[in-house]
A = this chain, B = another copy of it.
Amino acid sequence: METTFSYTHLFSFTQQVFLAMGCSEADAAVAAKALLAADVRGIDSHGVARLSGYVRLWEAKRINATPNICIIHETPSTAVVDGDSGLGLVVAPFAMQVAIDKAKEVGTGWVSVQNSNHFGIAGYHAMMALQHDMIGMAMTNASALVAPTFSNERMLGTNPIAVAVPAGNEPPFVADMATTTAANGKLEILQRKNLEAPMGWIQDAEGHSTTDAHALKNKGALLPLGSDKEHGSHKGYALGSIVDIFSAVLSGANYGPWVPPFPAYVPMPENQPGKGLGHFLGAMRIDAFRKAEDFKKDMDQWIRRFRDAKPIEGYEKVLIPGDPEREFEVIRMKEGIPLLYTVVEDLTEVGRKFNLNL
């Protein structure tokens, strides 16, 4: 059911597709790298499996392959970037670079982005800061799939938050999480396999928690991190809201139920208050707080102490955020990236459109 491709093979194919859409050489390379970061890190739902979706958005003229991405407002530590309907995979790295440049100058940089599209995995953009001895942050809003606590209406996207922190001898701390109990990608796997979902992941059309993995397609909704009020779903709802506000209300993008949908066949919400979807990127220079060397020594000690925490019997060890993805990265760069048959078929079809062989 799976075929394995090397990273370089998939990278070249993806880059060719973006070039065929009309992207510049530089943009096609940036976009392919950002998109494939998901596959490499084991977040299969957000990688090449979505390439055909990006192509369809471009066909529907919702994505501009040759955007004029620019800063429309700025102060020494902040900026708002207009993505000009470009690929989020290109717009977000541009905005993150602006944040990094500002952090070099005044200690931190914070960039809110309007008029963008989906940007792949948040972790990729946050991690851009690491090589500069900075802490990186990335968030994005997305089309509404999540019901706030007590709500029977989808109001928020899965709105992820990523934070990347450099260490010294230890690998970096990289948290990258949807603000929902479960990512939509995990639910899609259960749907494909016709398995039940754990209680607390989704609610049905009446707003009751259900194990029916297909409920999301039948007017149900994903649940915020916490699952129900008694277990803190109002906190997951608040976190998703913060992402929405920082990404879109601060930039002038669309928020809440007005965020543009990823599937090109879904009509745009009416009376949209802003432009495209929004991101929020941040960079903090470590030595704007203390000597990078001292910080890294403490960060190494933090990581080692947590890794050495006594595990519950039956579990091997306590993990540091980013550990599972880094293990995937080592394996997949060596052994290749396995793609499901349906994804291979989908990519072959994309290739056909542009006379490209997968």
* A115 close to B (CB within 8 Å): no
Q: Which of B112, B206, B299 contacts A312 (CB 8 A)?
A: B206
**Contact present for A234 and B319 (CB under 8 Å):** yes
Interface residues on chain A, number (Cβ under 8 Å):
88
Contacts of A299 in B (CB 8 A): 245, 249
**Contact present for A251 and B289 (CB under 8 Å):** yes
**Contact present for B181 and A319 (CB under 8 Å):** no
Contacts of A206 in B (CB 8 A): 312-313
Contacts of A152 in B (CB 8 A): 309-313
Contacts of A148 in B (CB 8 A): 306, 309, 318
**Contact present for B198 and A310 (CB under 8 Å):** no
* A155 close to B (CB within 8 Å): yes
Q: Which of B80, B200, B302, B312 contacts A256 (CB 8 A)?
A: B302
CA–CA, A232 and B249, complex, Å: 27
Who on chain B is nearest to A252 by CB? B290
CA–CA, A227 and B294, complex, Å: 34
Q: Which of B77, B198, B319 contacts A106 (CB 8 A)?
A: B77
CA–CA, A124 and B18, complex, Å: 48
- Which residues of A from 233 to 251 have beta carbons under 8 Å from B? 234-239, 241-242, 244-245, 249-251
| Contact of A80 with B226 at beta-carbon distance under 8 Å, contacts A152-B312, A245-B302, A301-B273 already known | no
- Which residues of A from 204 to 238 have beta carbons under 8 Å from B? 206-208, 225-227, 230-232, 234-238
* A354 close to B (CB within 8 Å): no
Who on chain B is nearest to A163 by CB? B242
**Contact present for B232 and A225 (CB under 8 Å):** yes
Contacts A/B (CB < 8 Å), 28 sampled: A75-B106, A76-B76, A76-B107, A77-B107, A78-B108, A80-B289, A108-B110, A148-B309, A150-B319, A151-B309, A151-B311, A152-B311, A155-B318, A163-B238, A180-B232, A181-B232, A206-B313, A226-B231, A227-B227, A227-B231, A234-B319, A244-B302, A250-B290, A250-B295, A252-B290, A252-B294, A256-B302, A273-B298
